[in-house]
Amino acid sequence: MFTKGRLCRRQILAAGFALVTGMVVAQAPHQAEAADKLRVGFAPEPYPPFWSKDAAGTWTGFEVDLIAAIMKQMGRDYELVPIAWDGIIPALNENKIDVIFNSMGITPERQQAVDFSDKYYETAIVFVGPKSDKIDISKDGLKGKIVGVQTATAQQNWVQKNYGDVVEIKAYEQQDQVNADLAAGRIDLDLADSIALIQGFLTTAQGKDFEVKGDPIVDPTSGANIGAAVRKGDPLKDEISAAIKAIRADGVYKTINDKYFNFDIYGK
């Protein structure tokens, strides 16, 4: 499930208008005039239960609620800035946004480009395939298979490193495109975040004929720990980490967690 990588300061326009700078469209759910408002970058695509749009077109989900709680704890106003996933880290480093909150796994490669807060949840990655196909998740078992992943993600890097010599890897701009091609039979396996697949795709009508293949995968390169990304050296990293710790301690995190999950997504 990942690449998911992610110029000037934004100009403040009259309320009700959107700002377009290159590929970046800024939508402010809060008042757009605040000069010290944090610009929170996210990829504007469905990623339930973390990001979904309701009937009114408003973003909802675990990360949406968590961002609001963290910013409240920090005493900071903010706006959500939608950016294509594969450009989100460049947008951060080009000062188009201040922080990325978008289920971004902490990997050694990404840590060369950005700093991360402490984790705010953890997850494994899994292969999902048809129930009717008894696929063995080994090099021999996957030989010749087509594996779908979202581009610029830790999952893409992981499967390339571990199975790239035996499988065909097909990369997509958005995770729901991977799911759709799996359902249509155009790929053999979908590799993505375990929570998004198990509590998202597999619970839908589209995913009813599919199942997890093999065991969940967790290693340092699979992006198991999820954190907020900021520019190198930005003290915002420590401010966010302190806020995560505070809402874990006072029960706010648990309230949000229990709204979406029947287990502690934070992990150990």
Domain at 69, CATH number? 3.40.190.10
User: Considering the domain boundaries, does residue 6 fall inside one?
Assistant: no
* DSSP at 8: P
pLDDT at 12: 30
Strand order in the sheet with 225-230: 78-82, 38-42, 99-100, 225-230, 115-122
User: Considering the domain boundaries, does residue 266 fall inside one?
Assistant: no
Together in a domain, 68 and 104:
yes
Together in a domain, 166 and 106:
no
pLDDT at 222: 84
User: Considering the domain boundaries, does residue 181 fall inside one?
Assistant: yes
pLDDT at 18: 35
Per-residue pLDDT tens for 212-245?
999 999 877 788 999 999 999 999 999 999 999 9
Together in a domain, 50 and 142:
no
Together in a domain, 243 and 130:
no
Together in a domain, 196 and 162:
yes
User: Considering the domain boundaries, does residue 111 fall inside one?
Assistant: yes
pLDDT at 6: 33
Buried b (16+ CB within 10 A) or exposed e, 220-246: eebbbbbbbbbbeebebbebbbebbee
Range of the domain at 178: 125-217
Total domains in the chain come to 2
Together in a domain, 148 and 191:
yes
User: Considering the domain boundaries, does residue 265 fall inside one?
Assistant: no
Q: Is 38 helix (H, G, I), strand (E, B) or coil?
A: strand
User: Considering the domain boundaries, does residue 3 fall inside one?
Assistant: no
User: Considering the domain boundaries, does residue 176 fall inside one?
Assistant: yes
Q: Which residues of the chain carry a pLDDT beneath 50?
A: 1-35
Residue 186 has which token pair? 């155009």
Together in a domain, 107 and 230:
yes
User: Considering the domain boundaries, does residue 177 fall inside one?
Assistant: yes
At position 144, the amino acid (one-letter code) is: G
Q: Are 131 and 189 a contacting pair, CB within 8 Å?
A: no
